[in-house]
Structure 1
Amino acid sequence: MDPNSGKKHLINRLSPEQLRERLANESFKRTTVSFYRYVIIDNPYEMRDMLFYMWNKWQCYGRIYLAKEGINAQMSVPDHYWQDFQEHLHSLPQFKNVPFKIAVEDNGQSFLKLQIKVRQQIVADGLTPEEYDVTNVGKHLTAREWNNAMDDGAIVIDMRNHYESEIGRFDNAILPDAETFKEELPEVVDKLKGKEEQKILLYCTGGVRCEKTSAYLKHHGFSDVNQLLGGIIDYSRQVETEKIENKFIGKNFVFDNRLGERISNDIISHCHQCGSPCDVHTNCANKKCNLLFIQCDKCKAQYDRCCSDDCQSFILAPPAERKELEQRLIFKRGKRFHKPEQSA
């Protein structure tokens, strides 16, 4: 099959404004769900087209990655189509009984459209299949087992990026200072040198990054590797259902329009501009920059949702002046925030 065949006709062509209006006018509720599975998919392009056809018919939105190694999905499903969605997905041999992680906080606005993309890997790690066996993974721990292991002094590793752990984490976890999962893997191995026989606990948002990390660590000689079953999302559900202690503090960063869901009432981070307690991420209103950073309501108003004076000047400038400003100003275009220089 032509790799681009599905992309020619099974895509959304509405503008962002039209998508937001469409979502705002919906009269029904949605459920935000995430799931993943490492499984051999012989023809991910064919799978992509089939899933898009069905899910688009049911008005599902989301961001889904398919590869020959499996699926990684974050989705918003209309409640009245939930049974159809679940039965269809579980009817496919590759995804039979795949476990779902339901969002902790859900306003129905998590996604605007349906995107299903075929990738080389469902989580980019920069590794070749020869460098680890993704089927040789660590032990999955329930929330209760996880809490007990933490109490017994196990080493806890946060397998998310720095901007995720900044707003929420398990206490005393090792927090790699990484921008990407690809950067994080070797950093974690380096931090754990000499601890190959100790009990290692891995956690991430929904579990997909820990699955690869556990296999990678076992390949590098770590003998007691464990991962949080269902990630932070399902940990929160188990804590509430079983009425056990919640050891996660703050918010869980999520990769959709919500940018986070609260797990505890603690606010452990600060506004990147004024330093006041805040754990609300936003993207700079200057699309030429689009920096992801933490901004309080006061600074949001003061800077017009921008990360710096330069970006604010750019979005407020008349269109005729923007081309000249774009050549003169430096925009961040990344996820690292540096305190802006104030105008005189």
Structure 2
Amino acid sequence: MVLHNRLSATELKGRLAAETFQRVTVSFYQYAKIADPQVFRNQLYEALFKLQVFGRIYVANEGINAQVSIPAHHFEEFRQHLDAISFLKGVRLNIAVDDNGKSFWVLKIKVREKIVADGITDPAFDMDNRGKYVNAREFNELTADPDTVVIDMRNHYEFEVGHFDNALEVPSSTFREQLPMAVDMMKDQKEKNIIMYCTGGIRCEKASAYMLHQGFKNVFHLEGGIIEYTNKAKEWGLPNKFRGKNFVFDERLGERISDEVISQCHQCGEPCDDHTNCANEGCHLLFIQCAKCAAKYNGCCSEACTAVLALPEEEQAEMRKGIDKGLMLFNKRKWDRSGDSTK
């Protein structure tokens, strides 16, 4: 069989819209030693394609990182397939908190150098020496101690729409930049308990290992990240200390954790935590936009992009030629609300 998608995005999205069954969005990861990631990738693609699984999966020598959408009627088969893989047997599956079943519309499995790009080059770094897991109950208990510091290991745009009470932000758009920044931020507080967290656990687990590698002692990481914490807090009847929305890297762009809205529309400043990508494909900036501004700017980030979007598609395509959008993310330090980027 062909081990990659050959259909257009339009056709795939149409098929998803026509589905009559329910889907479940799940994320999981495992740090493990995979001898031949390409062979493993091909075998996994063949198995998941047959189960109609959609999603984004990264495979590397250091393990697997996956966010997938599974037909509910194939869920147990999916779990059984993972259990048949030695290093994935019993792996924790983080079930999405706020799921509309439309998180993914195609299956993509890619081989990468690492499942989390970290910038670590020291051969002595060892992922087997990582921080201690804390579950939702332990997290709540530890964070009641004034000698505990909570560090958010997600990107600045994730932190903006939601985070734990009193969490420290490491203000960057990349994990590789955050690791040394976190060490520098905590260099004078090595005696304190440090709890690191992220969306599903993969980044904070590696961050905890990096902190230990840098000489810190009392390092913890939140088991299963925000997603598992929220599910367990609800199951165990615990106070949920997370404020706002949890950003997710799929079509949903977020899942509601609390009713509190802690961020603002980047164009008008009104309370809002809905991320979107600029409708001008030549820009595609990820930013926060309220419904009123979405109507005013036709889904664009600025008047300039709104004007481009009004042009014939052929002219827009010509303007996009040669453009390198890079990492197009809203950053407060590089933006003003008039809609003009200062990058």
Q: TM-score, normalised by structure 2?
A: 0.94
1:114 shift after superposition: 0.2
Which of 317, 327, 330 does residue 336 from structure 1 map onto? 330
Alignment of 1:182-201 (within 5 A): 182-201=176-195
Structure 1 unaligned spans of 5+: 1-7
Residue number in structure 2 paired with 1:219: 213
Residue number in structure 1 paired with 2:136: 143
Alignment of 1:128-277 (within 5 A): 128=121, 130-153=123-146, 154-277=148-271
- What do residues 207-241 of structure 1 show as CA deviations (whole Å, max 9, x unaligned)? 00011100100011100000111100000001100
Residue number in structure 1 paired with 2:111: 118
- What do residues 229-286 of structure 1 show as CA deviations (whole Å, max 9, x unaligned)? 1100000001100001110000111010000101111000000000000000001111
Residue number in structure 2 paired with 1:302: 296
Indicate whether 1:83 and 2:76 are aligned.
yes
Indicate whether 1:313 and 2:307 are aligned.
yes
1:96 shift after superposition: 1.1
Q: Is the 8 A contact 1:250 1:262 kept in 2?
A: yes
Q: Is the 8 A contact 1:289 1:332 kept in 2?
A: no
Cα distance between partner residues in 2 of 1:333 and 1:230: 27
1:147 shift after superposition: 0.6
Q: Is the 8 A contact 1:63 1:114 kept in 2?
A: yes
Cα distance between partner residues in 2 of 1:336 and 1:172: 23
Residue number in structure 2 paired with 1:5: none
Which of 83, 96, 110 does residue 103 from structure 1 map onto? 96
Q: Classify the secondary structure of the residue corresponding to 1:268.
A: coil
Cα distance between partner residues in 2 of 1:260 and 1:192: 29
Q: Classify the secondary structure of the residue corresponding to 1:166.
A: helix
Q: Is the 8 A contact 1:278 1:294 kept in 2?
A: yes
Cα distance change, pair 320–51 in 1 and its aligned pair in 2 (3 A): closer
- What do residues 113-149 of structure 1 show as CA deviations (whole Å, max 9, x unaligned)? 0000000000000112515211101110011110111
Identity value in percent: 50
Cα distance between partner residues in 2 of 1:231 and 1:299: 32
Q: TM-score, normalised by structure 1?
A: 0.94
Residue number in structure 2 paired with 1:4: none
- AA partner of residue 88 (structure 1): H
- AA partner of residue 73 (structure 2): H
Q: Is the 8 A contact 2:266 2:337 kept in 1?
A: no
- What do residues 16-43 of structure 1 show as CA deviations (whole Å, max 9, x unaligned)? 1111111000010011000000000111
Q: Classify the secondary structure of the residue corresponding to 1:94.
A: helix
Give the CA RMSD over aligned residues: 2.0
Q: Is the 8 A contact 2:265 2:289 kept in 1?
A: yes
Cα distance change, pair 176–15 in 1 and its aligned pair in 2 (3 A): same
1:330 shift after superposition: 11
